[in-house]
Each structure stands twice: as C-alpha cells, then as structure tokens.
Amino acid sequence: MSLVAGVQLASLRLLCFLWSHWPVFVCIWLLYAAAVAVHRLTLHPLAGFPGPRLAGASYCYEFWFDVVLGGRYTREIASLHQRYGPIVRINPDELHCNDAGFVDSVYPHGRGRRNKSRHYLAAIPWGLRLSGVGTADHDHHRLRRAAINKYFSRSQVVRNESLIHRNAQRLCDKIVQHRRRGPFEAMAAYSCFTADVLTSYCFGHSLGNLDQPGWQPAFKGTIDNMTGVFYLSRHLPQLARVADWIPLSLVQRLSSQIGSLLELIQVTIPRLVKLAKMATDSDCSGKSRPTVIQALLESDLPSSEKTLTRLTSEANAVVLGGTHTVSTVLTVLTYHLLANPAQLSRLRSELQTVVGDATNLPPWTTLEQLPYLSAVILEGLRLMYGIASRISVVSPDQDLPFLASWRPSSASEEVDVCYTIPRGYAIGMSAYIMHSDPKLFPNASRFLPDRWLNEHGQRSRILERYLLSFSRGNRQCLGMQLAYCELYITTAALALRVLPWLSLYQTTIDDVEYDHDQLIAMPKRGSKGVRVAVH
C-alpha cells in the first residue's frame, strides 16, 4: 500500500471513529463547559461581585446583547447597575463601574499603570492593531505615544491653526454653493472637511475631498455598514484577520461604500505614508513644520516601530478616529441648532461680539473665551459620546479599593458599598452611561448648553471632569487639542456663514439620538442621517 493510500485510510478511520463516538465528545465538552462555569461562579477572583450569574459564568450573555441584538449591551449594563449597584460583573473577567467619583481611579493621570483589556481590543479593526489605540501594554503605549505627543500638543496645534481656518472657510464656501441643488447629508460634508485637515496635518498632503464635486467620501454610511462586525470580532478574534485577506476588488463589488473606506485604509493612507517617509529620508520635504510621519521617523523609537506597516496603522488610527469624532459633533450641533433657532440666535449674537468678518475669524484662543460657544461645543461632545461603549482597562500592579454609597430600588436609605477590584482583571466605564446620568446631567437627553454655565453665564468646569468623549487619564485621546481647535473654528464659521441658510430635511431627533452602539454611538437602524437643504 502506498503512503498516500495509507494516510487516506487512516484519515477515513479517524473520521468514522469521531462520527460514531460524537455523543461522547459532546458530553466531554459539556462537562468541561460546566466545570469552567462553576469555577467562574465560585473560585474565580471576581466571583464575589454582583451581576447576573450567566454573565459571570459565560461570555454568552454579552454575545447575546452585542451580537445577536446588535450593540445593546451598554443599555443592558445601565439597567444592571440599577439592580446590582455601582460595580457589576458583566462577563467572566470584567467589571463595570458607573460611579462618577471613580473615574480617576479607573483612568488615572500620570500615576498608575493601566493596560487595555485584550477582550476590548479584539473589537478594534485589524488595521489599527499596531497603533497606540490598539496597544494593550501600558509601557509600550507610552513609548509609542511619546514619539508624537508633542506634535499634538496645544502649542503645536496653535502653530498650525491656519490650516484649520483655511479648510473651515472652504467647507462653508462649498455648502453655500450647494444652494438649490437638493438636500445632502451633513455628516458627509463634515467628514470631507475633517479628513482633509487630518491628512494635511499628518502627511503634508490633503486628500482634496473639498475640491471634489459632491460630498465624498460619505463616511457615515461606510461606518454604519462596517461597525456591525466589531463586536462579532470581539468574540471571534480571528475574524478581523480573515477579513484583511479578502481582496479589495471583491469588497468594492459587494459594497462601494465599504470598498471606498478600505481603499483609504489599504491604498491611499499607505501611499501618503510612503510619500512622507521618502521626504524625510531624502531630507527635501521643504516643509516649515514636520508631519506626524516625520515626527515618528525622527523619534527615538526603535527601528521595529518605524516600519511601513506600523506607521500606516498609526496614521489610520489618527485619520479615522479624528474624522469620525469631529464630524459627528458638528452633525449633532447642526441638528440641535437648526431645531432650536433661539439657541442658534444666541450663539450668533455672542460670536458677533468678537467677529467682524465671518470669512476671517479670530484665533482659537479668542473663540474659546466665549462662554456660550464653549457650552454649545461641550454639549455636542456630551451627546456624541466618543467611544460610547465601555473602555476596559487592567491595573496590573495594584488592587483598586472602591467605596461609595448606593440606594437599592427596594430600600429607602443609602447603603455603603465596599469592594476591592483585584489587579489583573478588567474594569471599564461607559461614556453613554456617564453622560446620561440624571444626577450629573438632569434632562440628559435634551440639548441644554446652559448646563455648562454658572449663574453668571460664565463657563463652569464642574461637569467637565465627567466628560468622557475623549476618554480620560494616560490613554486620553491623543488628538484632543486638535479636535477642540477644529470644533471652535468650524462651529463659529458654520453659525455665522451657513446655518442661518440651512433647514433640516426629513430629519428627526431619532437621526442623532443614541439607540445602540458599535463602539461608537449609533442612531436607530434605518436612519438616513442628518440631512439639510440650503435655501
């Protein structure tokens, strides 16, 4: 008998054996699963924390709400806190906290190492895994962030502020020129603006979206179509890697929107990274300011951190994250200011005290001194949420003591709650839950900029410590200062030059209000976004 025939015969016998004994293997698997569940509920370090038994025993509870029901676990976690208290076990290896006073313990500034949870990172798209956003280890993240931290500092943003002014005015010009051409989606317009700003800032070369006819790329529809796989890949981690193997040409045939985004990630941004790298290597860039890629290449990072793949991953994270954040806030503000003309009128009146020519705005440092403009932007950030679902971190070196008061629904008085969160296990907080807390933000679903002002109409910073739109602590959003600069300048330009001549088109509160999440906040399914018409 030949070797091949022998192998085939042995394989056939093995298959026959497995088929004839499948009930035995099923029983063994069930016994193993039961033993794991019993261990998680009795001997596991998190066994003493409150929460549904199924959530503590298995990831099936989370899978049901996030994958089967589609991004509903954050809402379920909010209801679990009402039943179980401020600390809840939400899966076998993770806790969730809704106590605002514990924010700085979960996400500390400067002190205390925090690794990102591996389970959390499994939902991050594969193309972002080598970026700072996708880095689990605290020290590794610190190394990567230090290389470009200075480039996103407030002073550096101020130095390059003219880039934002220029693109904000081009955005307004293009919207005004859209008069009588029918309605368009606000998010698409704002995505063009933010993508152009970020690519210019990162690479020294703009994508030129504002120079093209129409509003492309339409990021909202693309993100809506793609985010459905994020939570599935959290439970099936290899799914993200398999998706990377699908040819771009095939994806473009199946979905032009997803194909456009993948082309940006896999073709356009790598090309811009190569151009920036070539300019740095040849020392002939001719730029008065360094780009993000140049800053990375000229840093003290080891050579393994300067490969094209790593640089592209970092660039993707900056461009995609920054584009979504700013464009979503501007979309939320557009809806609410158009739906509340009195608020828009008040904002315009305040802006006119410092703006003589709407096409030549004062600097960011002047605009941020305006209290009502600041309040409008902060309220937009609150209702945008950033990463709406939890951001889970692990304290590797120390236990975290927790002490708070809580009143159960069945009790008339508050009770003290005391726990010790063991080192090595994940705990997270959710922007949606924090920003919807009626104790912090009464009438939380309403757009009320005045909540950010004191009785004298001046900016009050009391509530800002509870704003998680950019996260908090050592892992706070790298581009926060750049985002604020974009928001102040663009909101001012839109309020003075564009919004008075816009009207909502077949758009309701359901098109901006949180319904579920896929890492980011999502409106009700079927929403066509905030659509506006120029008149």
Detail the residues annotated as belonging to a binding site: 477
CA–CA separation, 427 and 49 (whole Å) = 12
Beta strands in 371-425 (DSSP E): 390-394, 400-406, 415-421
CA dist 4 and 18 (Å) reads 21
Asked if 170 and 314 touch (Cβ cutoff 8 Å), the reply is no
Q: Please name the residues in contact with 384: beta carbons below 8 A apart, sequence gap of 6 or more.
A: 325, 328, 329, 332, 469, 521
Quote the distance between the C-alpha of residue 495 and its chain's center. Answer: 26
* Widest pairwise Cα distance in the chain: 95
d(CA 45, CA 97): 17
End-to-end CA distance of the chain: 84
Q: What per-residue string of b and e applies to 127-138 under the rule 16 or more CB within 10 Å gives b?
A: bbbbbbbbbeeb
What radius of gyration do the chain's Cα atoms show? Answer: 25
Q: What would the two tokens of residue 403 be? A: 């002490």
Structure tokens at 238: 């290899």
480-497 and 186-203 are packed helices; what angle lies between their axes, rounded to 10 degrees?
A: 130
390 and 428 Cβ atoms separated by less than 8 Å: yes
Region for 180 from its dihedrals, namely left if φ exceeds 0, alpha if ψ lies in -120 to 50, beta otherwise:
left
Integer Cα distance of 492 and 511 in angstroms: 23
Q: Is 458 helix (H, G, I), strand (E, B) or coil?
A: coil
Measured between alpha carbons, how far is 326 from 470 in angstroms, rounded to an integer? 11
Helices (H), 107-218: 118-121, 138-149, 154-159, 161-176, 186-203
Place of tokens 């590794």: 140
Q: Where are the alpha helices (DSSP H) in 370-512?
A: 371-384, 431-435, 480-497
How is residue 21 written in tokens? 């004994």
- 395, 331, 400, 371: which is closest to 460 by C-alpha? 371
* Torsion (CA) 351, 481, 466, 314 in degrees, nearest 10: 140
Could you tell me which residues are annotated as the binding site for heme? 477
Dihedral, 118, 119, 124, 128 alpha carbons, nearest 10? 10
- Using alpha carbons, list the distances in angstroms from residue 94 to 103, 385, 410, 423, 517: 16, 22, 26, 11, 19
CA within 13 Å, CB half, 512: 31
Output the CA–CA distances (angstroms, integers) from residue 101 to 195, 417, 463, in the order listed: 36, 13, 12
* DSSP for residue 394: E
